[in-house]
Amino acid sequence: MPKSRAALTSARTAANAIYVPVQLQAEIDCQSGILAAEEKDYKTAFSYFFEGFEQYSSLSDTPHAVQLLKYMLLTKVNLWAARPGGRPGRQVMLLTVLLLAVPLLTALLLTVLLLSVLLVTVLLLVTVLLVVAVLLTVLLVVAVLLLLTVLLLLTVLLLTVLLLLTVLTVLLAVVLKVMMGDAGDVPGIISSKSGLKYLGRSVDAMKAVARASQDRSISAFQEVLAQYPKELVEDPLMNAHLSSLYSTLLEQNLLRLIEPFSRVELAHVAHLIALPLDKVEMKLSQMILDKKLCGTLDQGAGCLEVFDPPPPDNVYPTALGIVESMGRVVDTLFTRSQKIVAV
């Protein structure tokens, strides 16, 4: 990988210094995108694939353009699947509930304001009648000014609350867009002017992959691979990244299923996820070894025991800090002793 990165950097530098054919520049961008995707830098990979796609599209090189369009969509799907937390469904549901609650809160505040205005109006009329009855003109003026001040304060308060609710709505909408992005951007890319030119089985395959990724559905993902073997499995780059995507989806689904349990039978987990028992057991073992799951497998009972994550151990970092501090102290004392000896 380091040699490949250095070679591509040299190639891009040379291509910027001299004129190169558009097809060669597109191939350099394609290889740069493949290398960035291998390093899990999918945003950079998308940029390179997009540049190559536009160049191949300008040359009317349909096979290469379709291939790079597939790679562009693949990077979007992988960006979605690589989000931290692994279970954004609950977060999206929470944000949706909050977005629905904002109009209800606004309506409630408007109702409270109207009731307050009616109350102030009634009080104003009563005050006017009382003051007129006793001919207290000065008190009438004071009472009217006081009530107008209260009404003004209520109006300012309402406007402030409405402004805060508007800001909250915008922020929640932005966050929801970010969380639903990447894989959700696939239909937009396909329906763009340049994407519509290359509709076909390859694009349909990536739409199905994006849909399965958004749904976090293992079965749908397997069906897509079986339905489009030529477009997905026979392409080495697609096959490698889709295998990684499948592994990520499987881990996220397993974590979601075993979250309510402290001890659960492996057969029950395999039944819930609709996969063979040996595959589920192997994946759980791998997750435990990779520290992605805190638990242990009871082979005799055929169960998985899930533990709470242990608190982080700060002894080792603290010890390293102490050793580094002692090293600096020793170096300082050694420097001072050399100065004293020299004197």
Task: Share the mean pLDDT of the chain.
Answer: 77
Tell me: the pLDDT tens digits for 151-179?
777 777 777 766 666 655 544 444 444 44
Task: Identify the H or E element spanning 265.
Answer: strand 263-265
**Is 60 exceeded by the pLDDT of residue 57?**
yes
pLDDT of residue 327: 92
Query: What pLDDT digit, counting tens, does each position of 170-213 carry?
Result: 444 444 444 444 555 666 677 666 666 777 788 788 888 888 87
| pLDDT at 324 exceeding the cut of 50 | yes
Bridge partners of 295? 306
Report the percent of the chain where pLDDT is more than 90.
3
Checking if the pLDDT of 294 tops 60, the result is yes
Per-residue pLDDT, 259 = 86
277: amino acid identity, one letter = L
Residue pair 65/49 in contact by the 8 Å Cβ criterion: no
pLDDT value for 177: 44
Q: Are 72 and 185 in contact (CB under 8 A)?
A: no
pLDDT band at 9 (very low <50, low <70, confident <90, very high): confident
pLDDT bracket for residue 326 (50, 70, 90):
very high
How do residues 96-144 score in pLDDT, each as one tens digit? Answer: 555 556 666 666 777 777 777 777 777 777 676 666 666 556 666 666 6
pLDDT at 325 over 90: yes
Report the Cα 178 to chain-centroid distance in Å: 6
Phi, psi of 21 (to 5 degrees): -60, 155
In the structure, what pLDDT confidence band is assigned to residue 330 with cuts at 50, 70 and 90? very high
Contact criterion met (CB below 8 Å) for 284 and 293:
yes
Q: Quick one: pLDDT band at residue 54, thresholds 50, 70, 90? A: confident
Q: Where are the alpha helices (DSSP H) in the chain?
A: 2-17, 22-38, 42-58, 62-81, 88-134, 137-179, 186-190, 201-215, 218-227, 236-258, 266-273, 277-289, 315-342
Q: Identify whether the C-beta of residue 176 lies closer than 8 Å to the C-beta of residue 92.
A: yes
